Amino acid sequence: MKNSILNYSFITLSALFITSCSSDDSSLDTTKPEINLIAPKDHDEFHLGETISIDAILKDNVELGTVKIEIHSAEDGHQHRTANVNWTYDAEEAIPAGKTEHTLSHKVNIPTEGITEGHYHLGLILIDKAGNQSETYIEIDIVDHSHDH
């Protein structure tokens, strides 16, 4: 009888422990973070050697994580000068812990020479602490007015 009571107590305690440790789906963060890109605007034009000022408001319902900034060519491979290359830019910024809203202010210097002018995609990829991700892309134009066509 004593063994039965111990076994029953052990099974009951084990069941209580297992159910108390199970994850509660209502507490999981499944909401994607939000990106409000303020500047630059879609189809803004920049010149070689200029600085692109990227400004955005980043929000999440629980906690922000990191933001990635990328710029890459949107062209089909056509190049005016063979010495130039399609320019790419990649950066990642960690957002301070505990923040649900962050103002991004990031500067990107465009090289003064040696890159292909044309259409480029500028993107922000925002990841919250739970791993949810949002992206926004715009197209910008990089021009070299000293280059004759």
Q: Are strands 89-94 and 51-59 parallel, antiparallel or unpaired?
A: unpaired
The structural domains of the chain, with segments of one domain joined by +, span 28-143
Mean pLDDT of 20-25: 48
> Does 15 have pLDDT greater than 80?
no
CA dist 34 and 102 (Å) reads 11
Where does 28-143 sit in CATH, by number? 2.60.40.640
Ordered DSSP codes for 113-126: SSB--EEEEEEEEE
| Reported pTM | 0.75
pLDDT, residue 149, reads 46
CA dist 149 and 141 (Å) reads 16
What distance lies between CA 33 and its chain's CA centroid? 10
> Does 148 have pLDDT greater than 60?
no
What distance lies between CA 137 and its chain's CA centroid? 11
Tell me the per-residue pLDDT of 34-79, one tens digit each, with 9 for 90 and over.
999 999 999 999 999 999 999 999 999 999 999 999 999 987 654 4
Tell me the per-residue pLDDT of 79-129, one tens digit each, with 9 for 90 and over.
444 457 889 999 999 999 999 999 999 999 999 988 999 999 999 999 999
